[in-house]
Amino acid sequence: MAVLSKIRQRSALMIAVIALALFAFLIGDLFKSGSFSSTSKDVGSINGKDISFEDFRLKVSDVEKSGQGITSTAAANRVWEQEVSVALLSSEFDKLGLRVGEKHIIEILKADQNIGKNPMFLNAAGMFDLAKFKEYFKSNPAQAEYLKQREKDAELNAKYQIYSTLVKSASYTTKAEGKLKYKMEADKANFSYVGALYSSIKDSDVKVTDAEILDYMKKNEKKYKAEESRAIEYVLIEDKASKEDEAEVKSKISALLAGSVVYNQATGKNDTVAGFRTTKNAIEFVNSNSDVPYDSTYVAKKDLPAVDADQLFNLAPGAVYGPYVFGNYYCISKSLGKKLGVNAKASHILISYEGAQVPNQREKRTKEEAKAKAEEVLAQVNANPDSFMMLAFQYSDDSSAQQGGDLGYFGPGQMVKPFSDFVFNSNIGQIGLVETPFGFHIIKVTDKQDGIRLATVAQKLEASEATSDKIFTQATKFEMDAADKDFNKVAKEMKLTVTPAVSVKAMDETFGALGNQRAIVRWAFEDDTKVGSVKRFEVANLGHVIATVKNIDDSGFAPIDQVRPFIETKLKNVKKAEMLKAKMTATSLEAIAKATGSKVEQAANVTLENPVLNGGVGQEPRVVGNAFALAANKLSAPIEGNTGVYVVKTTSIVKAPALKDVAPYVAKLKAQSAGDVNRVLPALKDIADIKDNRKQFNY
């Protein structure tokens, strides 16, 4: 009976297993097709603390709804960075036991103009009234939830302010450091040296392998660590007009030039319809027949299509030109007349004063002083108009001073009104003084451009349905053939160009020259996508992209082809250094110079603060440091520097006189470390255990 019981138990177990397998089979596609494809309920973790996907999704949704026009992927990236930063900093706050009270939080909230300067929360004296603030949210429960979230953010900001203060306070500069700073600037070394430059050995004589580069990256892991990446090659088959499509559009728009005869069902007679050449209402004709509506703007010659600019600009009123191609359109244009001075070019010298709307005042002055100065400069310009550029360099408070005051071309209304009125009401070469809210302007009108008004019928050059069908067939065939054969070989057979591999990371949106192509990047990181996988993507307003994964790099390091230019030179110099050292075994500088084909050089008054060697060598801190450390007239061992291998013989070290007050040097060091607090978060990220599962959630 016991055996029978066990058999029955096992049978029940087998039935359960089979049922589970069937259930898994039935819903497998569901879990692969939507946001259910995630293998984790958490979007990631920071130092073991999980980030719930649901909470993360709500925050991403809030960012997307913020009205900034941000994509879901960009929103996810922004929220992720915030989550990582908040988690790491909050952990530090907790370790330190930081606490903030209502007063701290209110001060942070008040810094927001929408709260601190909101009339609803101000008293009769225009000051923030805490009682009014609290009463508002007490009587508006719907807004209370919003305030709770703001208070959470304010609490974090308040803690961060305290934390920043603690970090800054902990960064202390001693008098000994100030003294060392002084000595580094003031002590001077005089020495002779021989430099055997790395450039004296050809790069082609030194080989560096990929294995050596990878080994270097492993030894410098923090510097070269990188996210998992995919290298993707692709073929672009553009969905564009064929020659037959172009000919059809050209024929269609050419037919608009002459009149046509159409049957009028109402009268039972044929009517003659005016063409573009003879129409009495060119504007109505354009709006009835063009893919681009009529534009009444007068256009300067420089803004017309380059190839046809002369013919278009010189059209007599009523004359017609075309068809011609402009961008993706076939066009015909009729002149509606010219206008003088539609654009102007001017230079100015701005003399501003305190309170004027200009951000970069060279010196503080009152409005009266500014006016007097402007009149003085105007007199100088009138006395010698050719001096305008130099006077602009010398006196103008505007950024255009770097261009001698030149503002380029502009149209009516593009400048502040008094300025614009003077320029467009003056002749070329005229100089004058104008006051605006920015200050006093000495203005010189340097050029004017005439413009032409054109009525233009433009019809878009785009692929016909038949052409699009052919392109789709070609793209589909390429996708199917490339899936089973060599991608590049198939492209060559079909006379298509393969774009070199683009390297992307899991949360990238930009895909090389194609811009935002998140769908391609997402596909490349799907579990089923392997090296050699091929897929076709339809890209709006472009055509078909057929992509293949060339390489998957999950090594944790930056791709070798990206870092090779930086690392290869370093490793080659290491090998060159050994070759040069072998030649530098003699016991005198003269003998070493002869052996290396160089010469003995002299360095005078070199400091540790500025360890530059003459002759264009540049900074060599190791060489100069050794010179300071050597006893007089003693020869150093070969020193591997930035630009070569050096041997040094110190002549003398000139010590700077003792300094009683090193406070200025202490202040210098303090200023240099003022931004150290900004290095805390990157440092915390470097040592944190961060797991990012976002790619599993189809962002």
pLDDT at 315 over 50: yes
Distances in whole angstroms, Cα of residue 366 to Cα of each of 351, 370, 373: 11, 6, 10
Backbone angles phi, psi at 486, to 5 degrees: -70, 125
Rg (CA), the chain: 37
pLDDT reported for residue 586: 95
pLDDT reported for residue 125: 86
pLDDT at 209 over 70: yes
Compute the distance between CA of residue 427 and CA of residue 447 in angstroms, rounded to an integer. 9
To the nearest whole number, what is the mean pLDDT of the chain? Answer: 89
Q: Is 694:37 a contact under the CB 8 Å cutoff?
A: no
Q: Is 453:296 a contact under the CB 8 Å cutoff?
A: yes
**Residue carrying structure tokens 């990878």:** 214
- 114 or 666, which is more confident? 666
Q: Which residues contact 584 (CB under 8 A, 6 or more apart)?
A: 194, 196, 592, 595, 596, 638, 645, 647
SS3 content of the chain, % helix, strand, coil (to 5): 50, 25, 30
pLDDT at 270 over 90: no
pLDDT reported for residue 359: 60
pLDDT average, residue stretch 144-170: 88
pLDDT at 18 over 50: no
E strands of 265-327, at which residues? 269-273, 298-300, 320-326
pLDDT reported for residue 511: 95
Compute the distance between CA of residue 127 and CA of residue 124 in angstroms, rounded to an integer. 7
Q: Of the given ranges (145-154, 276-285, 596-605), which has the lowest mean pLDDT?
A: 145-154
Backbone angles phi, psi at 689, to 5 degrees: -95, 100
Residue 656 burial (CB count, 10 A): 13
pLDDT reported for residue 16: 33
pLDDT reported for residue 84: 95
Dmax (CA) for the chain in angstroms is 124
Residue 586 is encoded by which pair of tokens?
């003699």
Residue 559 is encoded by which pair of tokens?
């791709």
Compute the distance between CA of residue 277 and CA of residue 333 in angstroms, rounded to an integer. 10
Half-sphere exposure of 310 (CA within 13 A, CB side): 1
Q: Which residues contact 311 (CB under 8 A, 6 or more apart)?
A: 321
pLDDT reported for residue 346: 97
- 698 or 330, which is more confident? 330
**Residue carrying structure tokens 């960009």:** 74
**Alpha-carbon torsion angle 351, 357, 361, 363, nearest 10:** 70
Compute the distance between CA of residue 116 and CA of residue 300 in angstroms, rounded to an integer. 50
**Burial class, 51, CB count within 10 angstroms (exposed 0-12 / middle 13-18 / buried 19+):** buried
pLDDT reported for residue 489: 97
pLDDT average, residue stretch 55-83: 90
Compute the distance between CA of residue 150 and CA of residue 157 in angstroms, rounded to an integer. 10
pLDDT average, residue stretch 24-52: 60
pLDDT reported for residue 40: 58
User: Which amino acid belongs to residue 278?
Assistant: T
Helices 72-96 and 141-170: angle between axes, nearest 10 degrees: 60
What DSSP element (H or E) covers 550?
strand 543-553
- From 98, 122, 162, 236, select the one nearest 547 (Cα to Cα): 236
408-439 residue pLDDT tens: 999 998 999 999 999 999 999 999 999 999 99
Q: Is the dihedral of CA 673, 675, 677, 680 positive or negative?
A: negative
pLDDT reported for residue 2: 32
Q: Which residues contact 382 (CB under 8 A, 6 or more apart)?
A: 431
- 672 or 92, which is more confident? 92
Q: How confident is the model at residue 232 (pLDDT cuts 50, 70, 90)?
A: very high
112-137 residue pLDDT tens: 888 888 888 998 888 999 998 888 88
DSSP state of 526: S
Backbone angles phi, psi at 647, to 5 degrees: -125, 135
Q: Of the given ranges (80-84, 134-138, 460-464, 680-684), which has the lowest mean pLDDT?
A: 134-138
**Residue carrying structure tokens 């580094």:** 184
268: left (phi over 0), alpha (psi -120 to 50) or beta: left
Distances in whole angstroms, Cα of residue 417 to Cα of each of 367, 406, 413: 20, 18, 7
pLDDT reported for residue 140: 85
Residue 539 is encoded by which pair of tokens?
């890209």
Compute the distance between CA of residue 628 and CA of residue 631 in angstroms, rounded to an integer. 8
pLDDT at 202 over 60: yes
pLDDT reported for residue 361: 60
447-495 residue pLDDT tens: 999 999 999 999 999 999 999 999 999 999 999 999 999 999 999 999 9
Q: Is 458:289 a contact under the CB 8 Å cutoff?
A: no
